[in-house]
Copies of this chain bind each other. A is one copy, B any other.
């Protein structure tokens, strides 16, 4: 059986994602579609609007055969680490291709850019360092450095954040000589970061925004998502009493910071360069999560970077935890979130060839990373009413969803 990999967050799953799965399946000629998905917290340092099990359910109803969890230390990360974790996970499960959405929809643009990048990598690195030294944020410094080596114009503009991820996937594959064919299809939704829903193919950002602004799922939202997403969003909200947003976590993360010592705070991953003083100082006046980040933000610390740091504070993930987890060159295990009959056949077929174990039910004793993963999940569900009132909190230790 031939497998094609997708790297996803599905926050939430929309019509554009449905289109992507269909196209990717067709162009790859794969028998089995495997998605590696961020779990509770996402690449940009935000809680997923509904939990990973409900998002898995949607994916399985929409053409994905196997859903794997992208481990926390790779998920809440900048594009390089995010890409490394995703691509390595898909490599371990044996995909022969990876398909991602892009603006150009032409993989040769990414490969050409990668070759240029390799040629001029020294210049890139010098420019990057010098910008960082001047206190510029990483994304901006990186954009500037790409510009200096001619990668911000023409067919493949690396100044655009949505191209960076695709570029990082291709880079991971080529640099590690992985036997994976990179593929891309053109994004059908107008803008990756569109703020409003303008058609039935809308961005996840605009759908989330509409969901949170409206008490119910409006007809406009409903038109941009498959029925299964509608169903799971509704069901989750009725069980959980809420969708997950940063503001819901504000009382918890604020309490946490207010009872930490400066030393404890500085041990948390992402709290670098004396940021602990700034966090503590601004905490006293913070009235909301948004206002708090606004108060901390500087030229060097972008919103996304600060959000990621707050995820690590919330989940109590230290620099040591992160270092230990990222120490190995690949992922320590593959965690199954869900699969269907095709997925089961595929796994039965390749199980013996795997270099790393497949984990169904998570237990903290499997690996240091699984203990962290359990804490992360606990933090994610902390805003929900306590069990047994709310069974959702129990989900982390459930076996994979099978349909």
User: Which residues of A are at the interface with B, using a C-beta cutoff of 8 A?
Assistant: 250-252, 254-256, 258-261, 264, 284-288, 314-316, 371, 375, 378-379, 382, 386-389, 393-394
> Given the complex, which residues of B lie within 8 Å of A379, measured CB to CB?
255, 258-259
Tell whether, in the assembled complex, residue A258 and residue B288 are in contact, meaning their CB atoms are under 8 Å apart.
Answer: no
Tell whether, in the assembled complex, residue B316 and residue A382 are in contact, meaning their CB atoms are under 8 Å apart.
Answer: no
Q: List 29 A-B contacts (CB under 8 A).
A: A250-B386, A251-B251, A251-B252, A251-B382, A251-B386, A252-B255, A254-B386, A255-B378, A255-B379, A255-B382, A256-B256, A258-B378, A258-B379, A258-B382, A259-B314, A259-B315, A259-B316, A259-B378, A259-B379, A260-B375, A264-B316, A284-B387, A284-B393, A284-B394, A285-B387, A285-B388, A286-B387, A287-B387, A288-B386
Give complex CA distance A251, B252 in Å.
Answer: 8
**Chain B residue nearest in CB terms to A285:** B387
Identify which of B287, B387, B394 contacts A386 (C-beta below 8 A). B287
**Chain B residue nearest in CB terms to A377:** B258
Tell whether, in the assembled complex, residue B254 and residue A382 are in contact, meaning their CB atoms are under 8 Å apart.
Answer: yes
Tell whether, in the assembled complex, residue A386 and residue B286 are in contact, meaning their CB atoms are under 8 Å apart.
Answer: yes
Q: With A251-B382, A382-B251 known to touch, is A389 a contact of B258 (CB < 8 Å)?
A: no
> Given the complex, which residues of B lie within 8 Å of A316, measured CB to CB?
259-261, 264
Most buried by B among A250, A255, A316, A371: A255
A299 to chain B, nearest CB (A): 27
Give complex CA distance A261, B316 in Å.
Answer: 9
A217 to chain B, nearest CB (A): 27
Give complex CA distance A168, B255 in Å.
Answer: 35
> Given the complex, which residues of B lie within 8 Å of A284, measured CB to CB?
387, 393-394
Give complex CA distance A254, B250 in Å.
Answer: 15
Tell whether, in the assembled complex, residue B259 and residue A375 are in contact, meaning their CB atoms are under 8 Å apart.
Answer: yes
> Given the complex, which residues of B lie within 8 Å of A254, measured CB to CB?
382, 386
Give complex CA distance A284, B371 in Å.
Answer: 15
Give complex CA distance A254, B393 in Å.
Answer: 12
**Chain B residue nearest in CB terms to A249:** B255
Give complex CA distance A39, B286 in Å.
Answer: 25
Give complex CA distance A242, B387 in Å.
Answer: 24
> Given the complex, which residues of B lie within 8 Å of A393, measured CB to CB?
284
> Given the complex, which residues of B lie within 8 Å of A255, measured CB to CB?
252, 255, 378-379, 382
Give complex CA distance A241, B371 in Å.
Answer: 38
Identify which of B264, B287, B382, B388 contacts A388 (C-beta below 8 A). B287
> Given the complex, which residues of B lie within 8 Å of A394, measured CB to CB?
284
> Given the complex, which residues of B lie within 8 Å of A382, measured CB to CB?
251, 254-255, 258-259
Most buried by B among A314, A386, A389: A386
Give complex CA distance A314, B256 in Å.
Answer: 9
Give complex CA distance A95, B55 in Å.
Answer: 67
Give complex CA distance A251, B393 in Å.
Answer: 13
A84 to chain B, nearest CB (A): 26
Give complex CA distance A186, B251 in Å.
Answer: 45
**Chain B residue nearest in CB terms to A286:** B386
Closest CB pairs A-B (n = 9): A258-B378, A255-B382, A259-B316, A287-B386, A259-B379, A252-B255, A259-B375, A259-B378, A259-B315
